[in-house]
A = this chain, B = another copy of it.
Amino acid sequence: MSSGHAPTSTRQFQNVAVVGHHAAGGRREAAGPLGGNLDQVWEDDLAGEATWEAAEAKMAVHVLGGAAEGGGWQLADVDVVLGGDLLDQLVSTNFAGRQHRRPTLGVFSACATFAEAVGLAGVWCELGSARVLAGAWSHHLAVERQFRFPIEFGYQRSPTASWTATAAGALAITQGAGPVRLRAFTVGRVVDPGSTDPMDMGTAMAPAAWDSLQRHLEAVGETWSAYDRVFTGDLGMVGSAILCDLAHDGHFGRVHDDCGRSLYRPDQDVHNGGSGTGCVAAVVASHVLPHLEDGRWHRVLVAATGALFSPTSYQQGESIPAVAHVIELEAGR
């Protein structure tokens, strides 16, 4: 039975639209280049909650509600919420589900989670009428204390370290037409270049990004010239340079941009750039979609990248594999 099947991990969509989007960030994100585009800014790290984790869940509820509203939907009309975060057992996504009460599917591909959620929303909506919300969120303080050191420790960040964003983004996705079409989704393979430095995610993730982007291009039968932008998220300075070396293609270099580099200014002391599940989500919701809606861009790829490790795997001496999932967005009704 194995002969004759040409494996394809890409789904192309004829009839899926992004009809709403909402992006939120914290103070540092508001001070960055996209600050003016954020729909909501959380000045208070705790957002009025008792813990950072609860603040992250609250941020999730708000961007999901904002995206639904953007689509002209009431939350009660939403069929499925697809989302994820970096916290153990996806507690912010699931505790958000306790509040919004809509059917919830948790997904996890580290910082590639947003593209997994959006891509699966596309699969769901291509199949039939539906109103789906897809998003991702991260809170700097909740994530950092879980993955690395207690924040209070005041450790020194290495030059290749990224800054986990306090950011969230959600999209309202449905079957039908809309200002932006979701055109395709490619599922990534786990690629392990053998990196072992949890302070250098860009190096660990660049090969996975290149693997998935190449596979996507082949599946949809396009060249880089078809796209106004090819965003990765979040390779930052270090990973973006490696990716462009791997691509070895002038045209790719001209269209490539990175969500981790887009969220902050170089003088914001974020070193390699932004990261965290919420980074690419917020950049897509606040930057990519508006450019497609108003016609400045026509066609964009987003290859969200995730470093697949846990504090346990790292302490056990495992290397840090990575994955990248690709979504393709196109302007037009």
> A residues bordering B, Cβ < 8 Å?
1-2, 5, 7-9, 11, 50-51, 53-54, 71-74, 76-80, 84, 86-91, 94-95, 97-98, 101-110, 116, 120, 123-124, 126-131, 146, 186-192, 308-313, 316, 318, 321, 323, 325
**A108-B110 in contact given A91-B308, A313-B53, A316-B53 (Cβ < 8 Å):** no
- A101 & B189 in contact (Cβ 8 Å cutoff): yes
- A309 & B127 in contact (Cβ 8 Å cutoff): no
Give the complex CA separation of A53 and B107 in angstroms: 20
**Which 3 A-B residue pairings sit nearest by Cβ, starting from the closest?**
A97-B190, A1-B72, A103-B187
CB distance from A18 to the nearest CB of B (A): 14
Which of B9, B105, B128 contacts A187, CB < 8 Å? B105
CB distance from A118 to the nearest CB of B (A): 12
CB distance from A177 to the nearest CB of B (A): 13
CB distance from A313 to the nearest CB of B (A): 5
- B310 & A91 in contact (Cβ 8 Å cutoff): yes
A91 neighbours in B (Cβ, 8 Å): 308-310, 312-313, 318
CB distance from A99 to the nearest CB of B (A): 8
A106 neighbours in B (Cβ, 8 Å): 107-109, 116
- B51 & A316 in contact (Cβ 8 Å cutoff): yes
What is the chain B residue whose CB lies nearest that of A325? B105
- B95 & A318 in contact (Cβ 8 Å cutoff): yes
- B77 & A5 in contact (Cβ 8 Å cutoff): yes
Which of B8, B87, B120, B316 contacts A310, CB < 8 Å? B87
A127 neighbours in B (Cβ, 8 Å): 11, 123, 126-127
A190 neighbours in B (Cβ, 8 Å): 94-95, 97-98, 101, 104
- B309 & A80 in contact (Cβ 8 Å cutoff): no
Given contacts A7-B76, A89-B313, A101-B190, 13 further A-B contacts (CB under 8 A): A1-B72, A5-B129, A7-B78, A7-B79, A9-B80, A11-B124, A88-B310, A89-B308, A91-B318, A95-B313, A95-B321, A103-B187, A104-B323
**A89-B310 in contact given A8-B79, A51-B316, A94-B321 (Cβ < 8 Å):** yes
A95 neighbours in B (Cβ, 8 Å): 190, 308, 313, 318, 321
Give the complex CA separation of A49 and B94 in angstroms: 33
CB distance from A278 to the nearest CB of B (A): 16
A318 neighbours in B (Cβ, 8 Å): 54, 91, 95
